[in-house]
């Protein structure tokens, strides 16, 4: 199986320059840094201990920031290398992480020769892969070099597990290469055990934790002034069709409530022009975030077209609908808006995060909705409710998050000490 995988990655990498050029044209790659994915490394490795984290995208990167803040205080760690796959995550890195000790590079293709070159250049003393980032060539070459390897905040969905189950020997070889797996839920812990992983600890989902030093979650004064007298709800990480679903709900809400506004944050911001076109057909008045045009008081929809500001809008919203759940996409992670004290609404398709949603549903923090009337009913109650429920929610979730962070931090530090 490993030979087949190596052959497949070699074929993909043969076409990689063409693939990357197409992605640059579509504005999905950084034209100044895309060669990093071909393992052309321009940064130098400084002397001293280096810890390498690999986080696929924005969500995974944001989740490890509280851990990075703790590890960067350890004097013997001289460099923390972060690799990610997406341009959005590199922009978030530049915005959120200011420490000179922490550097960023794009993750190269998992071709055997690339992985060996990457490891020979950076010579990491510890490697930490985040969530579901499983790259066999990298994993086996890390193992061959006897570099300690951790799977942090490990997440395996049922769908992923069933795929790995078709190749059990290879799965055991891959997952058995991790020296320690810190699982985010019981389901993942069970699946890892079935793959023969011995050292597993289920410490909870790191995404419940919160950075103490991350930049402000407050919008600027001009934007806050626009929303001053508005009843605000948010539709986040929406996919095609879900903006229309939420907008139809909003039209129904307008019949009952005055000064109501819907903030839409699409999963893929390149769809914004298409979304505006659809909303205009519905006779809804749309204001685009960052637009120089005047904000009208009768604006229906505020469309966010930038990365990294989601938390700021959650901070002013009482209620959030999370996308990828009306369509069969598996849902989006609800932890971020939960931490901000929002009530969460989602469709039936949440398989990727079912354990988190189960917990939130049992505590009346999130609710499943099946249709527009269903969502309208809950939102009417939320948007007319008085009191500080959101502050109580924030406190409860943040207390739990700090406990999870403390336990994970202790495990990583114990691991570092034991592998000196």
Reply yes or no on whether the pLDDT at 213 is more than 50.
no
User: Are the beta carbons of 64 and 152 closer than 8 angstroms?
Assistant: yes
Q: For the ranges 263-277, 318-332, 378-392, which has the lowest average pLDDT?
A: 378-392
Region class of 146: left (phi > 0), else alpha (psi between -120 and 50), else beta: left
Q: For the ranges 90-99, 291-300, 350-359, 382-391, which has the lowest average pLDDT?
A: 382-391
First CA to last CA distance, the chain:
34
Digit-coded pLDDT (tens) for 79-119: 999 999 999 889 888 888 888 899 999 999 999 999 999 99
User: Are the beta carbons of 310 and 295 closer than 8 angstroms?
Assistant: no
Q: Boundaries of CATH 3.40.50.2000 in the chain?
A: 221-385
Token pair 């004097």 in the structure block, residue:
75
User: Are the beta carbons of 242 and 323 closer than 8 angstroms?
Assistant: yes
For all residues of the chain together, what is the average pLDDT? 90
Digit-coded pLDDT (tens) for 118-153: 999 999 999 999 999 999 999 999 999 999 999 999
Digit-coded pLDDT (tens) for 347-362: 999 988 888 898 888 8
- pLDDT of 390 reads 64
Reply yes or no on whether the pLDDT at 211 is more than 80.
no
Reply yes or no on whether the pLDDT at 75 is more than 80.
yes
User: Are the beta carbons of 331 and 324 closer than 8 angstroms?
Assistant: yes
Domain 2-213 sits in CATH at 3.40.50.11720
Tell me the mean pLDDT in the region 280-306: 89
User: Strands, DSSP E only, in 220-354?
Assistant: 231-238, 260-266, 286-288, 301-303, 319-322, 343-346
Region class of 373: left (phi > 0), else alpha (psi between -120 and 50), else beta: alpha
Mutual angle of helices 158-165 and 168-175, in 10-degree steps: 120
The per-residue DSSP string of 118-143 comes to HHHHH--SEEEEETT---HHHHHHHH
Token pair, residue 208, equals 């419940």
Distance separating alpha carbons of residues 204 and 133, to the nearest angstrom? 18
- pLDDT of 389 reads 61
Distance separating alpha carbons of residues 420 and 418, to the nearest angstrom? 6
Reply yes or no on whether the pLDDT at 22 is more than 80.
yes
Reply yes or no on whether the pLDDT at 391 is more than 80.
no
Q: Boundaries of CATH 3.40.50.11720 in the chain?
A: 2-213
Name the CATH architecture for the domain at 221-385: 3-Layer(aba) Sandwich (3.40)
Token pair, residue 120, equals 């020979």
Reply yes or no on whether the pLDDT at 376 is more than 70.
yes
Residue 387 banded pLDDT, cuts 50, 70, 90 = low
Residue 216 banded pLDDT, cuts 50, 70, 90 = low
Digit-coded pLDDT (tens) for 232-247: 999 999 999 999 999 9
Listed in sequence order, the residues at least 6 apart from 328 whose beta carbon sits closer than 8 Å to its beta carbon are 349
- pLDDT of 209 reads 84
Residue 388 banded pLDDT, cuts 50, 70, 90 = low
pTM over 0.85: no
- 260-266 and 301-303 as β-strands: parallel, antiparallel, unpaired? parallel
């Amino acid at each position: 199986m490993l030979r087949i995988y190596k052959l497949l990655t070699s074929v993909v990498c043969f076409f990689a320059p063409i693939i990357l050029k197409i992605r640059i044209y579509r504005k999905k790659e950084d034209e100044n840094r895309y060669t990093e994915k071909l393992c052309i490394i321009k940064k130098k490795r400084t002397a001293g201990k280096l810890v390498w984290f690999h986080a696929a995208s924005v969500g995974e990167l944001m989740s490890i920031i509280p851990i990075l803040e703790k590890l960067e205080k350890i004097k013997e760690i001289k460099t923390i290398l972060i690799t990610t796959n997406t341009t959005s995550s590199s922009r978030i890195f530049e915005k959120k992480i200011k420490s000179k000790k922490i550097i960023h590079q794009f993750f190269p293709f998992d071709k055997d020769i690339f992985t060996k070159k990457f490891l020979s250049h950076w010579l990491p003393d510890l490697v930490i892969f985040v969530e579901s980032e499983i790259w066999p060539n990298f994993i086996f070459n890390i193992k061959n070099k006897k570099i300690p390897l951790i799977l942090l905040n490990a997440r395996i969905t049922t769908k992923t597990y069933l795929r790995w189950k078709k190749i059990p020997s290879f799965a055991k070889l891959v997952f058995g290469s991790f020296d320690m797996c810190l699982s985010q839920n019981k389901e993942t812990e069970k699946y890892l055990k079935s793959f023969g992983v011995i050292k597993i600890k289920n410490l909870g989902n790191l995404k419940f934790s919160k950075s103490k030093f991350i930049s402000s979650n407050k919008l600027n004064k001009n934007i806050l002034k626009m929303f001053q007298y508005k009843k605000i709800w948010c539709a986040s990480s929406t996919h095609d069709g879900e903006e229309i679903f939420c907008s139809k709900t909003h039209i129904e809400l307008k019949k009952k409530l005055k000064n109501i506004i819907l903030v839409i944050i699409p999963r893929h911001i390149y769809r914004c022009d298409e979304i505006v076109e659809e909303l205009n057909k519905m006779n809804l008045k749309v204001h685009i975030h960052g637009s120089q045009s005047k904000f009208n008081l009768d604006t229906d929809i505020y469309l966010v077209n930038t990365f990294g500001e989601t938390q700021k809008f959650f901070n002013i919203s009482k209620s959030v609908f999370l996308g990828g759940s009306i369509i069969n996409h598996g849902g989006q992670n609800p932890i971020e808006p939960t931490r901000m004290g929002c009530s969460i609404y989602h469709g039936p398709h949440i398989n990727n995060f079912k354990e988190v949603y189960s917990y939130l549903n049992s505590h009346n923090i999130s609710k499943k909705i099946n249709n527009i009337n269903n969502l309208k009913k809950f939102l009417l109650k939320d948007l007319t409710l008085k009191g500080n429920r959101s502050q109580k929610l924030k406190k409860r979730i943040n207390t739990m998050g700090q406990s999870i962070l403390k336990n994970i931090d202790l495990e990583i530090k114990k691991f570092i000490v034991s592998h000196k």
